Structure 1
Amino acid sequence: MAHQERVVALLRQPNSMIAEGFAFMEAQFVALHEDIYVAQPKGFEDPVHPNHVYKLRKAFYGLKQAPRVWYEQLTQYLLHHGYDRGSVDKRLLVKTTRNHVTIAQIYADDIVFGSTLQKYTDDLVEVMNKEFEMSIVGQMTYFLGLQVKQSSEGYFISQKKYAKNLVKKFELESSKTPRTLISTSTKLSKDDAGPPIDSTVYRSLIGSLLYLTASRPDIMFSFGMCARHQSAPKKSHLIAAKRILKYVRGTIKYGIWYSKESELSVTGYCDADWAGNIDDRKSTSGGCFFVGKELSIMAEQETKLNFSEHS
């Protein structure tokens, strides 16, 4: 929980800055810890030794082992400079200096970083540039499909562009937008007697909605109900899944707001539908936790309840 509190503290600072650093080819030329051989490139074979192979001295961009090697070297470099690895997310590195915090989040060959004090952000850039060739693009506005709006009051994270593309992909641009995700009277089941549908299309829709839950926790429960039926989807399941997407179309601007004025108190909520699955009588339980006013963690799990009679 300590790392979460530090990150929330970072978001609360009025002068904090989150920047996105890109490390492309130059950063991928890092030392290997294993022997790797590659065939000679076509058109560039050695005329004297046409059947020989090359032994790599360093990883290069495009090599399957390159992301892992790059991540290991970058992580060890930051740990050496006083950063601590996250206990849950190992790609999150945090450094505390007096009352300020600096974070670096690694994703493949991209890094999102920032600090509660501009000096420490500049120090991180200086430290990174000593070891790697990097391009700093400035304040983060878009990352991995997430749109980020930063202001003096806080941060708003959404997937408006992704949601629009999703609506267009499944040809629901002119559909009516329901006011709710799913009817309260709807109970999805295996629907063995229902007409089957193309499972590829259904799984594509479910997979697309799954990524949307990153900024739309409001659709998670209804999405979970639809996601259970990917092995043998029926028309009723597709109708329910498309209703979620229609709802998203009407709430396309929704997202998650992180205010800088939140307290660091932790509050949790949980609930269950008590044997809501009409096929096997399993219960779906869910919970969410807030750090101050901001949603921090949201989870859902299906559990089978055992009933017994007592005389």
Structure 2
Amino acid sequence: MEQPPEFVDVYRPNYVCRIQKSVYGLKQVPRAWYVELRTYLLQFGFHNSVSDTSLFILKKGKSIVYMLVYVDDILVTGNDNELLRQTLDALSSRFSIKNHEELQYFFGIEAKRGPVGLHLSQQKYVIDLLTKTNMFGAKPVTTPMSTTPKLTLRLGTPLSDPTEFRAVVGSLQYLAFTRPDISYAVNCLSQFMHQPTLDHWMAVKRVLRYLAGTSDYGILLRRGSNRSLHAYTDANWAGDYDDYVSANGYTVYLGTHHISWSSKKQQSISHSSTEAEYRSVANTSTELTLICSLLQELGLSLSRVPVIYCNNIGATN
């Protein structure tokens, strides 16, 4: 940071102004704000979630209030309107906040309520991305990635300026928050950020063409779903032709709700398909353990023991 010119002392140019409060934009500001907010919420009666430090839970008898914090964006919900009103009033008396409003956008994710449930999407984000990359009117395709040719580091001519490639792939990583259908493609493209080629750029454009025809896709959270937790897992043994490291992926459902997914490379080379699949199951079980812990803190009980489905007999045994 630099002082404004009028604050510089001509006789003592090395002196600076000492700031008595946090300045928005400094690295320590989010931490300072979180500590201040957390201290107040704990004094009010909330307890901080162990599974997710951005989540605060208030329980009074059968009444529950959940508060999710992302810097200065706060999402509040609960099953008791009176307790919810008291919480918001107390928050307003301590901090300067905007008028309370129904959930529409949070963390860049659009939430729409309908007769069947809550639909989460990033349609506006997709449209802005397509407009920015001049792909808004592109001809749509039905899949985000082609099975051939297999993308490798040495495939194609290196890009003279990889800036746009990196920016678009970074945007796609953020979009994968509500789009599990592009997770695998984005993970593959992210591996070429340091040395992208023309073929990699064409693969990015294919993802954009896919988004052009599916901009309204998202996650639908239906009403009245059961509380059975189950996951599907898979791995491609030695799927990377550059280093022969396997990739694993999983998707987790709470009833009919799609709540968690991942697609990423493993840490080291697997010596067999059974080993690759078993590692994938292990990673999935770690995610399920975290989700079970979070559900327990939310006061939700499961209707049965969580189940992981795997298509490899050796790993299953």
TM-score, scaled to structure 1:
0.79
Letter in 2 for 1:302: K
Matched residue type, 1:301: K
Say whether residues 1:307 and 2:274 are aligned partners: no
Task: Tell me, in whole angstroms, the C-alpha distance in 1 between the residues paired with 2:205 and 2:73.
Answer: 34
Amino acid aligned to 2:73: D
Quick one: which amino acid aligns to residue 202 of structure 1? F
More helix by share: 2
**Is residue 107 of structure 2 the alignment partner of residue 144 of structure 1?**
yes
Shift of 1:56: 4.0
Q: How far apart, in 2, do the equivalents of 1:151 and 1:118 lie?
A: 20
Contact 2:8–2:16 (CA under 8 A) maintained in structure 1: no
State the one-letter code of the partner of 2:69: I
Query: Out of 128, 151, 176, which is 1:213 matched to?
Result: 176
1:217, 1:115 → 2: CA distance?
28
Residue 202 of structure 1, aligned match among 155, 161, 165: 165
- Which residue of the partner structure matches residue 224 of structure 1? 187
Listed one character per residue, the Cα deviations across residues 48-74 of structure 1 (whole Å, up to 9, x for unaligned) are 999765444433545553332221011
TM-score (norm 2): 0.77
Provide the C-alpha distance between the structure 2 equivalents of 1:104 and 1:300, rounded to a whole number of angstroms: 29
- Structure 2 runs not aligned, ≥5 long: 273-317
CA distance in 1, matches of 2:244, 2:27: 45
Superposed CA deviations along residues 51-102 of structure 1, whole A, max 9, x for unmatched, are 7654444335455533322210111111122212122321111122333321
Structure 1 counterpart of 2:33, from 47, 70, 88: 70
Higher relative contact order (CA 8 A, sep 6+): 1
> Within 2, Cα distance between the matches of 1:39 and 1:305?
49
Deviation at 1:172, TM superposition (A): 1.3
Which has the larger displacement, 264-273 or 126-135? 126-135
Q: Which residue in 1 is equivalent to 2:145?
A: 182
State yes or no: 1:296 paired with 2:275. no
Higher percent of residues as strand: 1
Note closer, same or farther for the CA distance 1:279–1:96 as it changes in structure 2 (3 Å cut).
Answer: same
Task: Could you tell me which runs of 5 or more consecutive residues in structure 1 were left unpaired when the two chains were aligned.
Answer: 1-37
Post-superposition CA distance 1:180-215 (Å, at most 9, x none): 1122333111125x2111211110110011111011
| Distance (Å, rounded) in 2 between the aligned partners of 1:265 and 1:210 | 29
2:118 and 2:222 in contact (8 A); partners too = yes
Distance 1:100 1:295 in 2: 26
Alignment of 1:1-311 (within 5 A): 42-43=5-6, 53-151=16-114, 153-192=116-155, 194-197=156-159, 198-303=161-266, 304-307=268-271
Q: Per-residue deviation at 1:152?
A: 5.0
- Once residues 13 and 201 of structure 2 are traced to their aligned partners in structure 1, the CA distance between those partners, rounded to angstroms, is 56
Q: Between Structure 1 and Structure 2, how many residues are aligned?
A: 270
Of all paired residues, the percent bearing the same amino acid is 32
The amino acid that maps onto 1:248 is L
* 8 Å Cα contact 2:142/2:210 also seen in 1: yes
Cα separation, partners in 2 of 1:276 and 1:61, compared to 1, 3 Å: closer
Distance in 1 (alpha carbons) for counterparts of 2:62 and 2:101? 24
The amino acid that maps onto 2:260 is I
Deviation, structure 1 residue 140: 1.5
> Residues 238 and 62 (structure 1 numbering): CA distance in 2 closer, same or farther, change over 3 Å?
closer
Counterpart for residue 35 of structure 1: none
